[in-house]
Structure 1
């Protein structure tokens, strides 16, 4: 049993930032009625999506330390201008490149097309491995340019870069002025000081910045980001470690080193027991002690595991909101944890993976009562939906989203499952 290759969140979000769900035309009905793609059509579609991301979201500047980054958003109305790549200071830019790297591994395994492996080794891995293995040379917490009192809930948090410098640290954002900050732009529009609100090193602090450019790096990271990095490290190590090519062997060693640094970093940040991170470090470093910290999945554990569809439609507590998931994180992490532990899916994990992949997308379809759901579309993660007492709090036909339209849409669940 295989999960579909994870292609690609960046492409799905390469639209103006408000992921508006406009009134749908006849194309939706036509799309819903189409049969599944053939193998040849699927391969062509995968390549088209990958090339779109490379042409529109990838930073190619050979002189930039961020060469190889995949920017999360593309504002198509500002393409070719400084505003084409907008970022929120605590959003997912570093996640997106990791997801894209996993997509490249799965696409290469599924098709055998060397294009995907070349993308991975030329762009994504060099970018991430330099951070994970050399973050102590790249980042320091000795300077924080956020105004006093602007911690935004981070005061005392272990999200912070610790001990001045450390290996295995990947910040929320890192740039040299190529992208723009939604937060700074909002302050400029409100004629407020154009400061970065989150703890960060801001190379433009105290300088005029009317375009809202981001230059510097965040002092924060997260265990959520670490899990996505760990999955990337696991699947890339599995791809390269058995190769007889010396270059692949060297890359596998660097990936194992990065996985070890990531686990050590999370331990310093008070999160030593993240299954995905442990799995990547234990597998790639053959670490028997780390393996002891990974529990086994059984029929009992997977049946007791949460399922958003059941929680929203049948196992709900009266009057208590149940969120519609915008991600498929649990499905993804459980799948790759099991691959690391046993090289395949056990029967309970295979069942749970299929059950979640089948049921969780139904929640958005229950909301979308006046139109078929376009392929790959679900809720927009920055605009969550809810169920109460087994039903959506409102329906698409009721137009209770922004501007009295349908609620915004996204594709983060579909790209993972």
Structure 2
């Protein structure tokens, strides 16, 4: 991501204008980002506000009735499901206000079809004797007058929001054929006052929890494939050091603390290996190490700046940014042969590669007309699509189903997160009520 590149990429000798151009620009971009984050200070518990624009090419009309319940949780669960589905841009939410229907209720299919709903979700939420909440849901097809799905989930009251996201995922998959991502998590860096916080939140930005708080910058968070750890760069020792942080117990281990800069961690698909960028031998180059920091080995041997590695889904290659050809571009490196080939050719400045989960699409930051935009490239056809036009975008990250890209941008003079569907039709802005938010990374699917 851009901030990582800038903060951790040294200039070469005074005679190398290419290196000065790349590193100089990136450093300036990082300074501007940190200066912007210094503007925000506020309450200890910020929430993300979501604003949605655009819609999918075709929207599936669905009604979600309030779940039958003796307390407000029934209506809350239904509202979260509606918000999730509406935010995807693929569904038209038919008004079901005032309708409380359980999973066992008789459904008037014709009446709901007349109201415009091709599908109807109903359910119940009941508190058990041990305090847990039993949530039951049913999805009906009002056209075929048949049941499409149904499930019962029992969880603690604190997990009610997650349960609602799980149900929204089931509806999304049942009606689109694509796995939903509402129950996944995102991580990002929040700057409030003179504090940096590494936060983890639901995919909709709610339920944020602070994993780490520091007076020194935190950058480049990266999820492990199992969702149990985050690798990131911390400046708490007054230099960039790569840590691996176990989320279940808060244990943090420095895995790259070599001479010079240690930056840009990226996990292999099986979680056994980290790619990192080090300057221990001079220029920024890419190294591999075991996830515990052992068995360090150098991967790239160029005379340029090689940085921002990311593994392909098969684990056989890395995509990375390099100025070895004279301008920042994206390359693919075969790990077994250490041979690199250029991937990006449109524009003279392309950085921060991120690969879709299926390996078919590349997202990256491209400079066009003096601004920085998020683009996606179909690796099979070479077709490029510019997803944004704000001019200050950075840090793209794919949703685990590959259908959306989350990124950092600026809105109203503040650093915010935004998301866009990979066809560019649906855009969301997630803004923190207090503070500046950057460096997003979307977590993997988690077991149900």
Normalized per residue, the structure richer in strand is: 2
TM-score, with normalisation over the residues of structure 1?
Answer: 0.28
Normalized per residue, the structure richer in helix is: 1
Structure having the higher Rg: 2
